Amino acid sequence: MAKIEVNGALLAYDEAGSGNPVVLVHAGIADRRMWRGLVPALAARHRVIAVDLRGYGDSELPAAPFAHHDDVVGLLDALGIASAALVGCSFGGRVAADAALAHPERVSALALFGAPVSGNEWSEETERLWEELVGEVNPEDLAATAAGEVRFWVVGPTRRPEDVDPELIRFAEEMDRQALAAEKALSAVEAGELDPPAIDRLTELRMPVLVGTGADDVADLRRLADRIAAEAPQGVRLPDVPDAAHLLPLERPEPVNAALLDFLP
């Protein structure tokens, strides 16, 4: 692990390999460790940087206003990188898409996995699923909240917990407990949003865009992936990966590695 100052905050990151740079941006229920199955394969051809967003993992959270998508580009500045491919999962995909829209000249390619881009609204179907699968949880109970979020996102609405590797569930809950603590701290800091948001600007994503989801992720995100791939001028939609839900790159790294090595410049 290394740390570097980005827009007044020390961000933690792991770096491996050489070649065209690729920045990996983690999900909101995770941290940079979720990329553990991708870094070795990608680093065989690329300079791979897995970052903890501000407040998450080992990164700091100063009280000053900030924007996650500006931090991603600030990381490129701090590392002397003119442009990079961005790979994001879930909230990290939202951040990566926002960075690509706010700073298009800095993003050579964009890969999004289960990404609810900014401005996206959840359907009533998804809200009902949450009530059925998770229900009311005390937000002060981080362990119970993490267990509920992992049940919904990592197991997914079409699988049972016993269908999923117990080590994946354990690791996801560990990451999510830390992420929930980070989100509580982040709620006290002013965070900038992309304006206008990405949902109505997908045609502006003019770099190559790869979009994928797990077959067991929520239907909203599979439909949104279809839309992103259709509206981005160079969008490519991967087939849904079987037996995988929201943290696709963590749960099924092999097909994700293969897709990215074929896609990345």
85-113 pLDDT tens trace: 999 999 999 999 999 999 999 999 999 99
Confidence of residue 121 (pLDDT cuts 50, 70, 90): very high
At the topology level, CATH places domain 2-121+190-263 in: Rossmann fold (3.40.50)
27-38 pLDDT tens trace: 999 999 999 999
160-207 pLDDT tens trace: 999 999 999 999 999 999 999 999 999 999 999 999 999 999 999 999
DSSP the chain: -EEEEETTEEEEEEEE--SSEEEEE--TT--GGGGTTTHHHHHTTSEEEEEPPTTSTT----SS-B-HHHHHHHHHHHHT-S-EEEEEETHHHHHHHHHHHHSGGGEEEEEEES---TT----HHHHHHHHHHT----TT-HHHHHHHHIIIIII-TTS-GGGS-HHHHHHHHHHHHHHHHHHHHHTTS-B---SS-GGG-GGG--S-EEEE-BTTS-HHHHHHHHHHHHHSTTEEEPPPBSS--S-HHHH-HHHHHHHHHHH--
Confidence of residue 12 (pLDDT cuts 50, 70, 90): very high
Residue 134 has pLDDT above 90, yes or no: no
Q: Could you tell me the residue ranges of all domains in the chain?
A: 2-121+190-263, 124-185
C-beta of residue 13 within 8 angstroms of C-beta of residue 49: yes
pLDDT higher at 3 or 141:
3
Confidence of residue 209 (pLDDT cuts 50, 70, 90): very high
Q: Give the mean pLDDT of 126-138.
A: 87
pLDDT value at residue 137 = 82
**Pairing state between β 107-113 and 209-212:** parallel
Q: Give the mean pLDDT of 66-78.
A: 98
- Beta-bridge partners for 152: none
Handedness of CA 27, 33, 36, 40 (dihedral sign): positive
In which region does residue 239 sit, left (phi positive, over 0), alpha (psi from -120 to 50) or beta (all else)?
Answer: beta
Biggest CA-to-CA distance, the chain: 48
- Beta-bridge partners for 84: 107
224-249 pLDDT tens trace: 999 999 999 999 999 999 999 999 99
What mean pLDDT value characterizes the chain? 96
